[in-house]
């Protein structure tokens, strides 16, 4: 299981991303717009750099909801491979059955 401080850090990052999402999108729209002047683009780029680093969505890491494990993560279930297997074998995940052919 991941340390609680690491899990809390990821939760804090997710909150920061959500908080600044609209502002980042607006600034990026100005930067990518062909109708914006060079000065507007420069000011928008400068404002984007001033935002917290953790406000970028690429800083987030997908982690298992049960253990906090960062690797072997299945997005569809929100679980790491080992916990997914445990719960699948118990029948806790609806619609998921062991393959047989």
For the residues of 37-92, what is the DSSP string, one character each?
A: -HHHHHHHHHHHHHS-GGGSGGG-----TTT---SSEETTTTEEHHHHHHHHHHT-
Which sequence spans correspond to the domains of the chain?
A: 1-61, 62-101
Question: Under CATH, to which class is 62-101 assigned?
Answer: few secondary structures
Per-residue pLDDT tens over the stretch 15-63: 999 999 999 999 999 999 999 999 999 999 999 999 999 999 999 999 9
pLDDT at 83: 96
pLDDT at 1: 79
Instruction: Give this prediction's pTM.
Output: 0.78
CA atoms within 13 A on the CB side of 23: 14
pLDDT at 5: 93
pLDDT above 90 covers what percent of the chain?
91
C-alpha span between 28 and 35 (Å, rounded): 13
Q: Does residue 2 carry a pLDDT above 80?
A: no
Contact 88/96 with Cβ under 8 angstroms? yes
Please give the CATH number for the structural domain made up of 1-61: 1.10.287.1480
């Amino acid at each position: 299981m991941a340390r609680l401080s690491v899990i809390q850090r990821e939760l804090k990052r997710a909150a920061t991303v959500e908080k600044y999402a609209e502002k980042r999108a607006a600034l990026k729209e100005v930067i990518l717009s062909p109708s914006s002047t060079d000065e507007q683009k420069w000011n928008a780029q400068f404002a984007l750099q001033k935002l917290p680093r953790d406000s970028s969505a690429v800083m987030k890491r997908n982690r298992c909801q049960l253990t906090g494990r960062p690797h072997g993560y299945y997005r569809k279930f929100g679980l790491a491979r080992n916990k997914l297997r445990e719960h699948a074998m118990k029948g806790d995940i609806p619609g998921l059955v062991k393959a047989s052919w």
